[in-house]
Amino acid sequence: MPRSVVVVLWGVVAGVLGPVAIADEQAAVRPAHLAGSWYPGEPEVLAAELGRLLAADKPATLTEKPVALIAPHAGYRFSAPTAAAAYRCLRGHNYRRVIVLAFSHRAANTYAGVDVPDRLTAYQTPLGNVPIDRAACDALLSGPAFGAHPGIDQGEHSLELQLPFLQQVLGEFQLVPLLVGKMSDADCVEAAKAILPWIDDTTLLVASSDFTHYGPRFGYVPFKDDVARDLRALGEKAAAPILRCDYDGFAAHLAATQDTICGRGPIRLLLRVLSMRGGADGVRVGFDTSGNQTGDWANSVTYQALVLTRPAGTLGKAERGLLLGLARETVGAFLSERSTPNPDPSALLDKIQADGACFVTLQNHGRLRGCIGNMTARGPLYAAVIQNAVSACQDRRFISNPVTAAELDELDIEISYLTPMVRVASPDEIVVGRHGLLIALDGRRGVLLPQVAYERGWSREEFLAQTCRKAGLPLGAWKRPDAEIYSFAAEVFGEQ
């Protein structure tokens, strides 16, 4: 049997070089530094407390499976009841991978990008070891936005305190532990692009964060009269853009209030990842403050629990499947010079017989080959899919290199089902990942679908500028008082 060894690494902890010992027996396991102090260290006691907390209240009613959550990480005495409100919502769902976005309280500002452990194979808690998804971690480490900083999480609690909850609710899963450092908006885009391939229907994103740290101890005293009331109001302002999955709105909140949200980095990265997947709908399921618990409002920390799901769609799986099949049949028939489909409306589901607007997009291994649609409904949705599928095969942008029957099997078809357009009163209403845009000015019109913005990680202003470019207008034309800006949502689904 192999002998146990101790690997000693030199790392930066709170800005000081020092040895970090990791016990190893064929594997490097990160020990449970805070067990017995910040949360119970005895397995039976910890499991019993978690069981009590998770059973305390009925979980929030969600229409979709959670894709992400934000939970606090203070000592369990203060934050565990609020965190449990989020973790309750995971019951009954299966997750094989959990990506935890956390940070180092002591060293988050000493490195750029995202820290990924390069040697660890597990995180230890009193409930057992949580295996690390080494394939995902090694792939991320090959990207420019990621790096290994041994010892950066020595004594750190922001990630560790999430793990017992995950173990209690999910049982077995693989962990991708990420500690977010200094990151620009562009860095968030690069990191999100690298994380996206590792997210599927059995992957959960968790951002670890407490919210407002109020009082002289934290150097943040924006109000003094009714602290309990104002902290709740500030918490609601912070939560509002998160619940819309509005990256720009959350950044604007931080800039306007200087809100002392310790996990702003993990939250920003979580919102960027979700916005680049088409957005999310959020529910706040828990709220508390340490001031409320202790009666001491001189210094108080706010705890919030937020759960995010994929946006609820109008069309179900059956309707989507029928429309994609109809689009595939239409493209095949047109490219083979056969008659396009003429389905019997009475045999179709009600929702696709109703009037609807849509775009049909053709791609060949990620290369655009055609995208045509109508912004307003001109008849039944199924008929719009047939018409736009034919038109996408004849997209004038590819007139010198049109799509052919020879590449039919290589084509991926995507449909964007559009909601009615709404005049935008303020650009702040636009959420990248949720909205598409139409800008009209001086007789010119430009339209961009939501996915054009979110797949590129554009900011709200970049989206507005690029829509102006599409209209043949100056990039800043959207700022003119006579510019008409309309938003719409798109329910995007495809064969991939």
H or E element in which residue 241 lies: helix 227-243
* pLDDT for position 6: 39
- Per-residue pLDDT, 7: 39
* DSSP states along 118-151: SSEEEEEETTEEEEB-HHHHHHHHTSTTEE--TT
Mean pLDDT, the chain, integer: 92
| 313 confidence band (pLDDT: 50, 70, 90) | confident
User: 8 pLDDT band (50/70/90 cuts)?
Assistant: very low
Higher-confidence residue of 22 and 40: namely: 40
Higher pLDDT, 314 or 123: 123
Mean pLDDT of 301-326: 93
**Euclidean distance between the first and the last CA atom of the chain, given in angstroms as a whole number:** 47
Sheet holding 120-125, edge to edge: 5-13, 16-24, 28-30, 120-125, 128-131
Q: What is the pLDDT of residue 27?
A: 60
Domains of the chain as residue ranges with CATH: 25-309 (3.40.830.10), 317-417 (3.30.700.20), 422-494 (3.30.1490.150)
Q: What percent of the chain has pLDDT over 90?
A: 85
Residue 361's nearest CA partner among 477, 244, 490 is: 490
| Residue 96 · residue 133 · CB < 8 Å | no
The DSSP result for 301-369, as a single string, is EEEEEEEEEPPPPSS-HHHHHHHHHHHHHHHHHHHTT-PPP---GGGS-HHHHSB-EEEEEEEETTEEE
